[in-house]
A and B are shown apart, each in its own frame.
Chain A
Amino acid sequence: MPCERKPMRYGHSEGHTEVCFDDTGRFIVTCGNDGDVRIWESLDDDDPKFITVGEKAYSLALKNGKLVTASSNNTVQIHTFPDGDPDGILTRFTTNATHVAFNSIGSRVAAGSSDFMVKVVEVSDSSQQKTLRGHEAPVLSVTFDPKDDFLASASCDGSVVVWNIEEQTQVISWPLLQKSNDVTNAKSLCRLAWQPGMGKFLAVPVETKVHLYERGSWDHVSTLSDDLLAQPINVVSWSPCERFLAAGCVGGLLTVWDVNSKLCVERQKHEKGFTVCSLAWHPSGSHIAYTDTEGCLGLLDGLGTSTADNNRTKVAAKNPAKDYDDLFDDDDDRLMDEGLSDTKSPAKKAVGWDDDDDDFLVPATGRVKNRGAFLDDENSLDTGSLKLGQDKLGDDDNDAGSSVAPAAAPVVPLRPVYEGPVPTPPQKAFQPGSTPAHLTHRFMMWNSVGIVRGYNDEQDNAIDVEFHDTAVHHAMHLTNSLGHTVADLSQEAVLLACPSTEELASKLQCLHFSSWDTNKEWMVDLPKGEDVRALCLGQGWAAVATSTLMIRLFSIGGVQRELFSLPGPVVCMAGHGEQLLVVYHRATGFDEEQALGVQLLQLSRKRRQLISGEPLPLSQKSYLSWLGFTAQGTPCYVDSDGVVRMLNRSLGNTWTPVCNTRETCKSKSDHYWVVGVHENPQQLRCIPCKGSRYPPTLPRPAVAILPFKLPLCQTTTEKGQMEEQFWRSVLFHDHYSFLSSSGYEIDEDAQNQSQKEQQELLMKMFALSCKLEREFRCVELAEMMTQNVVTLAIRYASRSRRMALAQRLSEIALEKSNQMQEEEQEEQEEEPEYSSTRRSSGYGHTDVTAGGRYSRRQNQQEEQEDEEERGEELMEEEDRQEMEPEEATETKKRVNPFAKEAGSPIKPSPTPIGKMGRANPFKVPGSGKMSASSGQPRVTNILDNMTSSKKSAQLSSSGGKPSKSPILKPLAPKPKTKTQSTLLQMAATKTANKKVQENTEQAANLQKQPDTPPPGPPADNSENKRPKTGFQLWLEENRKSILADNPDLEETDVIKEAMGRFRTLSAEERLSWTERAKGQSGDAADLKKRKRAEGGEGLESENEKAEADESSAKKKSSLDPSSKLSVFAFNQN
């Protein structure tokens, strides 16, 4: 008889509790020390009705809609049930009553009291009382004979007495119990139980055994015991089918015996081992409710299936036997006794059965036979789980087994408990941000947009929609005639759905309030037999998960879109922008765990699955309680243990716990009901709920904000704190890269801010480790830093006289720069492809802006790389000439003018003149953006960078041009490779180094003039400030040969080709080129400076010219690599 023990739940305050079922079995009714009687619709009922009956309730009994309670004011009162209206006082005692009981038909109530008396009162007329005196101590319990003749009571004086009610006399008294002076001191509550129906037996719990006394003869006919029962039995109760007897003991063990066989068929341990002080069978016999002295309520479920099965088999297969049984039950008590005593010992039993096979017609044997069969059933039912040797026999051959198996049973005590993993009931589908559907007033949705409330009481069935931001839409009140149960809300629409009824199909209703036409509503019927389970709204789409394991997508206007199947029943869904997150049951969970899977889909133009059905990690024994996205679009969820987890896209789409809401709860039963997550600022918005999991609709709950905290170790220490801050910052700013990669606009200031914050934290940790003499750790930290911060770290190290550390750090810096360069090159190769894919998706004008955004991001990346590169340069320089620290920071702040384009993917295309007509991604947003951003201090746009570069070029010239002049020209003609241009930036920014550079400039310039006439002046200009790399030199020398080989190559292709060739050179060769490059940067000349200034002026004038003449042809000509501009510039020189 495998049964399931449901988790206990809090019912009453600590102390004695009692439980019973109502007549229909619909409600569980409990009373406790808090003086309330609670009426539970089920164990999961979160909001039980309650009736206050007094300060304390000691006992209760329920029959025919009358609830009788013994309360602390020494009365026994009646309340109507289930309304709970007081219906008078039945009787009074001089002290409190300890136990009340109804008779079988509910006409009389017996009450035992601490004043040694037992009273029997007519329910209809409380004046008709019978008082049974004779006990010499407080009465522990009372029970009626089902035939209403007798009454049994147990008392603290150690006696169990049977009374004749009419005569008010003792029939028999057994001194069975230990004596005590009060109920509270009694070892056992000794709740007696009379077998229902014929009332053949009276069950008396005596210590660890249950004695059965026969009615009439009052003989002790048998004893039920179990090896595992070590502590006194508190309470016994008969099953409604009269066959089983359940007992609950002080140690929390619950035992069920089959009285016929006297075998223990079920054992369950209370989950915390508290004393079971009351238990009650459901009228169907399928489950037992029990309560403990800590006020908790529990349920044993699943008894019904096996007992019912047994009953059925018994009835079906052994009809004659059943008849005999009845016969026997009615008339032949005596024989039964013999039968029972006969079968007391296992050996005898076996013999008895052997006999039975022969003789079928003797009632007693019929009974036994029947019992054997029943046991057989029992065994075969259990075999699957039991794996006891005996079961095999029972299984193999029923006839043989019937004789052997039961014989073996008592020897090896039957373990009816299946001890392996128990499957968890799968959690039901829900809408994140909603409260349970059974409530009359509930939240159907609370999200970052607004609140949908559902009312479903007598007068009103309505839905209220309210928006946090009234600018979105005004509040709405809808009558809920269709009975919608699930809802979602977005900036565009309200989506509602109702389950199907017998006539009506499941409906989906969408109030598309943001629609610009007059029709703001649409409705869709789902196919017959398909029910909506969960739904969600995204930007421009709606998704509905149905009972047929399907997800249907709709456009927000009501066009049906894709549909696909889910691998399991849906749990919940969430949408944000173009992302759809679905959680479903992947498999059956065991031991209270849920086995959930998650899918994340991107519903943009390029549909794809980002997470394909991976398991969703949950805390142990918890279930999913909220699912959604952060305001920035990162998937997030909360489990019932209050742990918030967020997707970490940079760590292979893993889930990182970012907060445990339970840690901030004051009491164990408090919870936080999450309504939203924000990454920037880092906020977890939730509603604190006192003593429940979700808030009531009234009074209107207020949102609270919780901070995030990664569960890192030792966060009390400074180190731990900084580590936590760093990783939290990294995690919570991860969304920038995702957003920009999917083409959203991002707040660059915030992003830079976050990067700065992270680097600052790294630097702090570095300093801390330095202080703690942890140099290895310093190096580890340095590896996480960006290039320029590493240089700072090097300075820090050298200043604190850690030369070894500084040495290592510089190695790291070198390594980093090399890596960077390699990456850049790779990137360059990849880029054309990248940009082309982007372009191929072209959506006209919007694409251009998106492209602009994209390239801006790209720039940023470049910028950083360049910065790092620059940092490296600085480092090298530091060796040669002690550089000013300020400079380093200065360079950091500065923006590299040309690196951008060099790195940006689109750069190569604009070079050819003929292609000017084609959209230059920089150009289109450029003209608009220029004017817009001209006032902005920070330059993130390439064009802005251009201006700044120009400025730097003009530094020495008088009055730098305001940045608004069109600077497209100098940008376009750049033929140089990326390496070159990155170096250029350095030059542009490193004004302090100018003197040193000057020579280089000159040298480079001089060299360039003859060699490469094509390159445009700006490139030249800035280029000559830097020493050339080996590759550049090599390229200059070999350009012609390349061009000769491939005359039709464009500039970019030339560089690519050149790069390829340079790579094929041997290491020595390359080295020699590098040497040469180094050799070139040797001497200084002020001359160059002037020249450059003039060049800048020339540029400027050229720009002005261009400004005046806006024809593209003109631009083209000026953009030509061999443009007049360069000639002009050099001429001036």
Chain B
Amino acid sequence: MDASEVEFLAEKEMVKIIPNFSLDKVFLIGGDLGPFNPGLPIDVPVWLALNLKQRQKCRIIPPEWMDVEKLEEMRDLERKEDMFTPVPSPYYMELTKLLLNHASDNIPKADEIRTLVKDIWDTRIAKLRLSADSFISQQEAYAKLDNLTLMEINTIRAFLLDTLNCMYKLRSNLQ
């Protein structure tokens, strides 16, 4: 699984948009969408929101957590706690990236949000590395980590598995 696949999964998340066109219900395999009324907020999957946005057919309303104050609070908590704190959305990183790349004009204080999410991400990845480090150095058999998102697991997976394999080999050679 690579990052683009995780992003693909994230695109199924719902986001509110304000369409500027009118369209009846569309019937899709994944469920019905619409009807679209100009000026009336409606929930659609991210992939559709981005598509419409790129065609300038809608404005995206950022999710509630995508707000400077809330993210600051979250960042501070993340820094304070040793454990992973619950994240606002299981796809917070992906959504932030997607929405900020394509619809930064609809999101107030986009730059600050980008920095904050990056901060949270960095803190969490640092924690992840740290726990991986202690896991290995203490030669534990298993470890439990809560509140990790798919993207985070995905980032460390390749490295961790390879490393552990390698170490296993080294250890078994040692004996």
Contact = CB atoms under 8 A, between A and B. Distances in A.
A448 B61 CA distance: 19
Contacts of B20: 467-470
Contacts of A703: 18, 39-41
Interface string A692-711: 00000001101111000000
Contacts of B57: 470
Interface string A679-723: 000000100000000000001101111000000000000000000
B108 interface: yes
Interface string B54-95: 001101010000000000000000000000000000000000
Contact of A685 (B16, B40, B59, B61): B40
A471 interface: yes
A448 B22 contact: no
Contact of A702 (B18, B21, B56, B108): B18
A430 to B, nearest CB: 22
Contacts of A704: 41
Contacts of B38: 467-470
Nearest to A685: B40
A471 B16 CA distance: 21
Contacts of A700: 59
Interface in A463-486: 467-471
A448 B22 CA distance: 12
Contacts of B61: 702
Interface string A73-99: 000000000000000000000000000
Given A699-B108, A702-B61, A471 B40 contact: no
A447 to B, nearest CB: 10
Nearest to A472: B38
Interface residues of A, number: 14
Contacts of B18: 702-703
A470 B21 contact: yes
A467 B57 CA distance: 12
Given A448-B39, A685-B40, A471 B108 contact: no
Contacts, number: 33
Interface in B104-146: 108
B52 to A, nearest CB: 12
Contact of B21 (A448, A469, A685, A699): A469
Contacts of A469: 20-22, 38-39
Given A699-B108, A702-B61, A471 B41 contact: no
Nearest to B58: A470
A352 to B, nearest CB: 71
Contacts of B56: 470
Contacts of A471: 21-22
A683 to B, nearest CB: 8
Contacts of A450: 39
Interface string B32-52: 000000111100000000000
A471 to B, nearest CB: 6
A702 B57 CA distance: 16
Contacts of A705: 40
B60 to A, nearest CB: 11
Nearest to B16: A702
A699 B59 CA distance: 13
Contacts of B22: 469, 471
Nearest to B18: A702
A705 B43 CA distance: 13
Contacts of A467: 20, 38
Interface string B18-35: 101110000000000000
| Residue among B18, B56, B57 with max Cβ neighbours from chain A (10 Å) | B18
Interface string A418-460: 0000000000000000000000000000001010000000000
A468 B39 contact: yes
A469 B35 CA distance: 14
A643 to B, nearest CB: 23
A699 B110 CA distance: 13
Nearest to A678: B37
A470 B61 CA distance: 18
A703 B41 CA distance: 7
Contacts of A702: 16, 18, 41, 61
B10 to A, nearest CB: 23
Contacts of A470: 20-21, 38, 56-57
| Residue among B16, B20, B41, B59 with max Cβ neighbours from chain A (10 Å) | B20
B41 to A, nearest CB: 5
A450 B61 CA distance: 18
A703 B59 CA distance: 13
A467 B39 CA distance: 8
Nearest to B107: A699
Interface string A973-1017: 000000000000000000000000000000000000000000000
Contacts of A685: 39-40
A705 B41 CA distance: 9
A685 B61 CA distance: 17
B103 to A, nearest CB: 13
B16 to A, nearest CB: 8
A700 B39 CA distance: 12
Contacts of B40: 685, 703, 705
B112 to A, nearest CB: 14
A155 B128 CA distance: 65
Contacts of B59: 700
Interface string A391-434: 00000000000000000000000000000000000000000000
| Residue among B16, B39, B41 with max Cβ neighbours from chain A (10 Å) | B39
A470 B40 CA distance: 13
A468 B18 CA distance: 9
A702 to B, nearest CB: 5
| Residue among B21, B22, B38 with max Cβ neighbours from chain A (10 Å) | B38
A199 B57 CA distance: 72
Interface in A1047-1084: none
B58 to A, nearest CB: 10
A469 B56 CA distance: 11
A1094 to B, nearest CB: 47
A700 to B, nearest CB: 8
B35 to A, nearest CB: 9
Nearest to B22: A469
A699 B108 CA distance: 8
A518 to B, nearest CB: 27
Nearest to B20: A470
A471 B38 CA distance: 10
B49 to A, nearest CB: 14
Nearest to B61: A702
Interface string A817-834: 000000000000000000
A1121 to B, nearest CB: 48
A699 B107 CA distance: 10
B111 to A, nearest CB: 16
A932 B16 CA distance: 39
Contacts of A699: 108
Contacts of B108: 699
| Residue among A468, A685, A700 with max Cβ neighbours from chain B (10 Å) | A468
Interface string A758-802: 000000000000000000000000000000000000000000000
A700 B41 CA distance: 12
Interface in A937-952: none
B137 to A, nearest CB: 49
A850 B56 CA distance: 38
Given A471-B22, A685-B39, 13 more contacts: A448-B39, A450-B39, A468-B20, A468-B39, A469-B22, A470-B38, A470-B56, A699-B108, A702-B16, A702-B41, A703-B18, A703-B41, A705-B40
Closest 9 CB pairs of A and B: A468-B39, A468-B38, A469-B38, A470-B20, A702-B41, A699-B108, A469-B22, A702-B61, A703-B40
18 contacts: A467-B20, A467-B38, A468-B20, A469-B20, A469-B38, A470-B20, A470-B21, A471-B21, A471-B22, A685-B40, A699-B108, A700-B59, A702-B16, A702-B41, A702-B61, A703-B40, A704-B41, A705-B40
